């Protein structure tokens, strides 16, 4: 039998809200986090807070829309004393008590000294634990420094052919047993299947994007500029997925070597990596607006082709450009972007005129 004998819809809504904020038998994450930061209770119970909230709702001194605000007040107070002494022993209306100071004044100096000495002990312990946690996090970020290189397992968008060995020995044995066939001619099979290329490599964050060391088939680094990245999101088993333009996805998992707290370490690195990359990713801007619209923001004062070529002639004559560089720039002016037929980094063919980045290695195409 609950605190509400004849539960109205409104009372039921209050109960649901209290359960949502406080949790059921086990405190909610919201409740636990606030109790730890407010009263330094690492493993709090929620019975007193729930009882007070339900009683105040029942007495119509607490409205549904004010429950969360009231819970925040209670989590700053000694709810054990408020519920067991003030509400149950002295039969006082708990809604009159808004701060811990109200409880201190009501219960007197003896209670005040005892409670606040206990609270101070919890605070010192809490601060010591927080300091240790910060130090541990710093050690983790130093060991797994994403700016210097961290080992990752990566599933790339590109496909490769793998040979799959099918062992039919079990089938042969079963057939021989049940049908009495001797020397049944069933041979093992080797099948081909197309799968995404999976590698283990070093990943690091650089100023203009992320780099996977020696990740290309020819052994070159795979560079992904922020302009090609839409977002980084959590994936299954503490892995991440890097969502790129053109519906491409790279799946990645940090390799953590630890006997204890491996999942916690991985979560810390994941959070750090997601925060940094998502803050700098610009792919969504290009995806939503399109290349043409963004290019409209660029200066429109165009120089004639002849003047542009003369500029490069002068650079070539003064030794700032090689002959090959001069010829390439001249060709780009005379023939437009069609002159760029392949990526200068990985030599991957350019698929269309307005392509801005290499779809294989992410290099920006000029």
Burial class (CB in 10 A: 0-12, 13-18, 19+), 92: middle
Q: Among 7-16, 21-30, 85-94, 116-125, where is mean pLDDT lowest?
A: 7-16
CA nearest to 99, candidates 83, 79, 124:
79
**Average pLDDT, whole number, for the chain?**
81
The residues, ordered by sequence, that sit 6+ positions from 45 with a Cβ below 8 Å of its Cβ are 27
Q: What share of the chain is helix, strand, coil (3-state, %, to 5)?
A: 50, 20, 30
> Which residues, 6 or more positions from 246, have their beta carbon under 8 angstroms from its beta carbon?
359
Please list, in sequence order, all residues whose beta carbon lies within 8 angstroms of the beta carbon of residue 64, skipping any fewer than 6 positions away. Answer: 10, 13, 14, 17, 57
Helices (H), the chain: 9-22, 29-39, 47-58, 67-74, 79-81, 100-107, 109-143, 169-179, 262-280, 283-289, 291-295, 305-317, 323-335
Neighbouring residues of 239: CB distance < 8 A, sequence distance ≥ 6: 251, 252, 253
Q: What single-letter DSSP state applies at residue 6?
A: S
- Phi, psi (degrees; rounded to nearest 5) at 206: -120, 180
Please give the pLDDT value at position 99. 96
Q: What is the mean pLDDT of residues 53-75?
A: 95
Alpha-carbon gap, residue 361 to 221, rounded angstroms: 8
Q: Please say if the pLDDT value at position 24 is more than 60.
A: yes
Percent of the chain with pLDDT over 70: 73
39-60 pLDDT per residue, tens: 888 899 999 999 999 999 999 9
Q: What is the pLDDT of residue 300?
A: 45
Judge whether 230 and 241 are in contact, CB under 8 Å: no
Q: How many CB atoms lie within 10 A of CB 27?
A: 22
Radius of gyration of the chain (CA): 33
DSSP strands (E only) in 207-310 = 209-212, 222-225, 229-234, 240-244, 249-254
More reliable by pLDDT, 83 or 329: 83
Per-residue confidence at 272, pLDDT binned at 50, 70, 90?
very high
Q: What is the distance between the alpha carbons of residues 39 and 21, in angstroms, rounded to a whole number?
A: 17
| Assigned token pair, 281 | 């990713």
Strand bridging mode 240-244 / 249-254? antiparallel
Q: How far apart are CA 261 and CA 22, in angstroms?
A: 28
- Does 164 have pLDDT greater than 70? no
Lowest mean pLDDT among 11-25, 209-223, 276-290: 276-290
d(CA 352, CA 364): 14
Instruction: Report the DSSP beta bridge partners of residue 194.
Output: 161
**Range with lowest mean pLDDT among 23-32, 102-111, 299-308, 315-324:** 299-308
Section 21-34 average pLDDT: 93
Strand 150-166 vs strand 229-234: parallel, antiparallel, or unpaired? unpaired
Find, among 75, 63, 60, 64, the residue nearest to 30 by Cα: 75
Among 25-29, 86-90, 101-105, 338-342, name the one with the lowest average pLDDT: 338-342
pTM of the model: 0.54
Q: Give me the pLDDT at residue 170, please.
A: 41
Tokens of 72: 């925040």
Higher pLDDT, 158 or 273: 273
Cα 303–Cα 306–Cα 311 angle in degrees, nearest 5: 75
Give the per-residue pLDDT at 168: 54
CA separation for the pair 344, 360 (Å, rounded): 12
Q: Which of 7-11, 228-232, 245-249 has the lowest mean pLDDT?
A: 7-11
Rounded mean pLDDT of 219-226?
92
* pLDDT at residue 311 is higher than 70: yes
Mean pLDDT computed over 275-281: 92
Cα distances (Å, whole numbers) of residue 76 to 118, 242, 248: 14, 41, 49
The confidence score (pLDDT) of residue 290 equals 55
pLDDT, tens only, 330-366: 767 765 544 446 676 667 666 545 555 655 555 556 5
Note the pLDDT of residue 177.
37
Selected residue with higher pLDDT from 40 and 315: 40
DSSP state of 61: S
Distance, in Å, from the CA atom of 71 to the CA atom of 22, rounded to the nearest integer, reads 8
Which residue in 257, 258, 254 sits closest to 266, CA to CA? 254
Q: What tens digit of pLDDT does each residue of 290-306 get?
A: 545 544 554 444 456 66
């Amino acid at each position: 039998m609950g605190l509400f004998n004849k539960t109205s819809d409104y009372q039921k809504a209050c109960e649901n809200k209290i359960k949502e904020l406080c949790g059921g038998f086990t405190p909610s994450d919201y409740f636990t986090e606030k109790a730890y930061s407010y009263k330094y209770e690492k493993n709090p119970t929620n019975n007193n807070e729930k009882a007070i909230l339900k009683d105040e709702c029942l007495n119509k001194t607490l409205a549904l829309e004010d429950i969360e605000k009231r819970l925040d007040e209670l989590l700053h107070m000694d709810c054990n004393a408020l519920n067991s002494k003030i509400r149950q022993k002295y039969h006082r209306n708990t809604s009159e008590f808004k701060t811990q100071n109200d409880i201190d004044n009501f219960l007197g100096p003896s209670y005040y000294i005892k409670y606040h000495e206990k609270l101070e002990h919890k605070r010192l312990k809490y601060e010591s634990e927080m300091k240790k946690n910060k130090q541990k996090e710093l050690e983790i970020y130093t060991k797994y420094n994403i700016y210097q290189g961290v080992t990752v397992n990566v599933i790339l968008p590109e496909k490769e052919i793998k040979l799959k060995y099918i062992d039919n020995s079990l089938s042969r044995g079963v057939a021989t047993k049940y049908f009495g066939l001797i020397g049944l001619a069933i041979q093992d099979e080797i099948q081909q299947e197309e799968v995404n290329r999976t590698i283990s490599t070093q990943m690091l964050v650089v100023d203009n994007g992320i780099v996977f060391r020696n990740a290309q088939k020819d052994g070159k680094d795979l560079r992904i500029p922020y302009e090609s990245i839409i977002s980084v999101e959590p994936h299954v088993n503490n892995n991440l997925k890097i969502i790129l333009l053109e519906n491409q996805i790279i799946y990645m998992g940090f390799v953590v070597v630890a006997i204890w707290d491996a999942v916690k370490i991985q979560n810390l690195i994941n959070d750090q990596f997601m925060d940094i990359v998502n803050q700098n990713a610009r792919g969504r801007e290009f995806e939503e607006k399109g290349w043409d619209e963004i290019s409209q923001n660029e200066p429109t004062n165009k120089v004639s082709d002849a003047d542009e070529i003369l500029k490069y002639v002068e650079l070539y004559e003064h030794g700032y450009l090689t002959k090959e560089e001069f010829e390439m720039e001249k060709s780009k002016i005379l023939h437009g972007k069609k002159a760029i037929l392949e990526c200068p980094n990985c030599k991957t063919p350019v698929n269309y005129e307005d392509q801005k980045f290499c779809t294989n290695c992410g290099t920006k195409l000029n």
